[in-house]
Structure 1
């Protein structure tokens, strides 16, 4: 089974999403992609980024305000291939 691919719009990098259902933030960290964050639980919104393609699912409903087209990588996991803008 193929792993989902996370594409970073700015660089065009394509990163394989690891097994084990990590958060998107954890997956980005595994690939050494620098992401601003503070709380890791959807409270502060510091990790906010744009979801350009694909879908994510939240482990818990974020408390930070999330606008249309934005996601919080700290508390979501990908549901197939996604493209994001950090």
Structure 2
């Protein structure tokens, strides 16, 4: 089971109970912007500092290198992310 390290805090275990990383972040009361929840708008864009994610469906929103959309992805390995403020 991979861990998720958010803004250099203590690692949190990612369980199979969440459909995607956005749900995981919400469950852990992490302030993350979102709008569409489907990868169309890009409002939930976060930085992927290390590790690997897999998209459940390819996002339509523009995603730069080193970024990902938590609304349509899951971790494949332990990941370290940064949520924009």
Identify the match of residue 21 of structure 2 among 9, 21, 24.
24
CA distance in 1, matches of 2:63, 2:26: 22
Structure 2 distance, partners of 1:13, 1:31, is 12
Match of 2:45 in 1: 48
Q: CA deviation at 1:16?
A: 1.4
Give me the TM-score of the superposition, normalised by structure 2. 0.90
Provide TM-score, normalisation by structure 1.
Answer: 0.89
Which segments of 5 or more consecutive residues in structure 2 lack a partner in the other structure?
none
Distance in 2 between the 1:32 and 1:9 partners? 13
Which structure 1 segments of 5+ residues have no match?
none
Listed one character per residue, the Cα deviations across residues 13-57 of structure 1 (whole Å, up to 9, x for unaligned) are: 321112245201011111111110000000000000100000000
Say whether residues 1:58 and 2:73 are aligned partners: no
Cα RMSD of the aligned pairs, angstroms, is 1.2
Structure 1: which 4+ aligned runs deviate by more than 4 Å? none
- How many residues align structurally? 83
